[in-house]
Amino acid sequence: MFAGKIANLKFLGLAAFATVLALIASGFGPLEKASAYAPGDVIKTVTVLDSNGDSYGAGALVAFVLESGSSETLGTIATTNDSGVATITIGATADILGLAVSPGAGDTTNALYFAHTGQDLKLTPSAQTFPVQLAAADITANLIKPDFSAAPNGSILGWGTGDSGAMMHILRSGAVGINLPGAAESFDVSSQGGIGVNGLSDSGYFPTEYGFERVADVGGVETYALSYEGSPFEPTSGLNNYTFTLAEANVSGKLVQSGSDFALPTGVSASIRFIRAQDPEQASPAPDSTPPRPRARSRSPPMTR
């Protein structure tokens, strides 16, 4: 139904996708390295408000995303009580990447939330309370694996348009609400961007990117059209409801040296190339002609394909 509107997305010249592709390639992590500061064995309290500013009540899900060596992991998922409050105890060695909040099961009106450590999340070595207000959702997204089962908790949905972008971690199965960049009054009709899905590092999944365009307002509701590899990507059911599938790796592993994780020096990046052997149809690849660009994060990413 949106073929006429969406077909031109493959000719964006990559500019409109720059932000979201950068987020996808880095595992949607923050631009700087996560702080190694460990807040200690303390209780962190999260108070969740809905998009109207009222107490969310029971059922919202809250978790910290952690870093352990070269891997990202999802911490314990806590559930808010009737007052919209959840508590999490953080261990003394925790290296926290950020705070994820998901509306409860069946709620696609309120959107997913994520705050990066050092940017929107300021940690102290004592008990803290974080107020979180969820935004209203523009579209709904159901993230699944290739076998149609639910994607693992912690899997990532990210999006960007122009020079702004955001990323979220899912904390439950089923459709979730997504708040796209720019509210109805500022995100113009025909504005374009990108949406990406990914797994946590070492999850065995790698990024998949989609294009999106704000088409119009229909009865006061923002309407979007999505594309995949230049072709229209239709809603699953109804307006603005989409199902995204994680791309499963067929090769997985990590780079080691003398049996230990290979650590790159700060400011240095590396790439790994797979070359198909003895294939007469395939030309021999030329060596890389340009040095790798420095990366803001020094962690060596896992091999996902």
Helix (H) or strand (E) holding 23: helix 18-25
Cβ(81)–Cβ(163) below 8 Å: no
For the chain, state the CA radius of gyration: 20
The pLDDT of residue 217: 65
- Reading the chain (305 residues) residue by residue, the pLDDT tens digits are 333 333 333 333 334 444 444 444 444 444 334 444 444 578 999 999 999 999 999 999 999 998 877 678 899 999 999 999 999 998 766 788 899 999 999 999 999 999 998 878 888 777 889 999 999 998 899 999 989 999 999 999 988 776 667 889 999 999 999 887 554 434 555 567 788 898 887 778 878 888 877 776 666 666 777 888 778 888 887 778 889 998 887 776 777 888 788 877 888 877 777 766 665 665 655 555 555 444 333 333 333 33
Cβ(163)–Cβ(178) below 8 Å: no
Count other C-beta atoms under 10 Å from residue 113's C-beta.
23
Backbone torsions φ then ψ of 14, nearest 5 degrees = 70, -10
The pLDDT of residue 57: 97
The pLDDT of residue 288: 53
The pLDDT of residue 289: 52
The pLDDT of residue 92: 62
The pLDDT of residue 294: 42
Say what the pTM is.
0.70
Cβ(211)–Cβ(9) below 8 Å: yes
Cβ(100)–Cβ(227) below 8 Å: no
- Rounded to whole angstroms, how far apart are CA atoms 75 and 67? 10
- Rounded to whole angstroms, how far apart are CA atoms 215 and 223? 6
Count other C-beta atoms under 10 Å from residue 272's C-beta.
10
Measured CA distances, 46 to 76, 88, 119, 130 (Å): 13, 8, 17, 5
The structure tokens listed for 251 are 């090769």
The structure tokens listed for 237 are 């059911």
Q: β-pairing, 208-218 with 192-198?
A: antiparallel
The pLDDT of residue 292: 47
- Rounded to whole angstroms, how far apart are CA atoms 5 and 90? 48
The pLDDT of residue 108: 94
**Cβ-count burial 137-171 (b if 16+ within 10 Å, e if not):** bbbbbbbbbeeeeebbbbbbbbbbbeeebbbbbbb
- Rounded to whole angstroms, how far apart are CA atoms 293 and 276? 26
Cβ(304)–Cβ(204) below 8 Å: yes
Backbone torsions φ then ψ of 5, nearest 5 degrees = -80, -35
Strand partners, 101: 62, 113
